[in-house]
Amino acid sequence: MQQKLKEQNVMITGASGGLGERIAYHAAKEGAEVILAARRKDRLMALKQNIADETGAKCRIIALDVSRTDDIKAAFQEAGPVDILVNNAGFGIFENALDASLEDMKAMFEVNVFGLIACTKMALPHMIRQDKGHIINIASQAGKLATPKSSLYAATKHAVLGYSNSLRMELAETRVNVTTVNPGPIQTDFFKTADKRGDYVKSVERWMLDPDQVAKKVVSAMMTNKREINLPGWMNGVSKLYQLFPALVERAGRSAFYKK
């Protein structure tokens, strides 16, 4: 069976669980040499062993907290050339804007935005030199349609989309692709931090995405010029409608938006 990612180095941040873990598995199955980066080295070591047992693929691990931008350069020096970078590390905390702490604001931007940009800057020179590569940024439908109690999280994801769209235009004359992944809620540990009371999870549980299915779509898009991956389709439809008729969507969706 032909493996589309054979001899490609794929680095994934936030790889120790959830969507990042599943992307790592599927990239390894496609023949990639996977570089797992995350804070929890014990989880990474266990995942590395599982990937080796299940796929036989090469796999390396790097302990990295992307909020520590000073450590990112060293991590990429250790990783070596990266052909595909998946900026997956990120978190959210759902609070009213008035109640959200400045510490949470700083932490979310450091991980979701500054860390993503710093990792991208480290990976790009090699990609541009070889005139081939792929930056995949895990954003969110929250980057297209903000809702109550997600002001800070939505702001970070709006920033990711803005950065990605500009970067894509800057790289238009190269064969380096930029893809944003904009999922709705996914069944991962994300909500243990974002939604400590569990109210939001209860209200959207039946619509939650399977991380394995999202991961398959991400891996299938690797080294293609796909602009965006938007999931689920109906939620992306609401986001598109919002761009055209924001006041109407805000009024019509008010009761649903407040289910956090």
So where are the chain's domains?
9-257
Res 42 pLDDT > 80: yes
Q: Model's pTM, two decimal places?
A: 0.91
Mean pLDDT, to the nearest integer, of 80-103? 95
Residue 9: the pLDDT is 97
Q: Which helix (H) or strand (E) holds 61?
A: strand 59-63
Read off the DSSP letter of residue 139. Answer: -
153: annotated active-site residue: yes
Single out the catalytic residue among 25, 153, 163, 200.
Answer: 153
Distance CA 102, CA 136 (A): 29
Q: Is 119 helix (H, G, I), strand (E, B) or coil?
A: helix
Mean pLDDT, to the nearest integer, of 229-243? 87
Residue with the bigger pLDDT between 206 and 38: it is: 38
Q: Can you spell out the DSSP letters for 101-125?
A: -HHHHHHHHIIIIIIHHHHHHHHHH
Q: Which CATH superfamily is domain 9-257 in?
A: NAD(P)-binding Rossmann-like Domain (3.40.50.720)
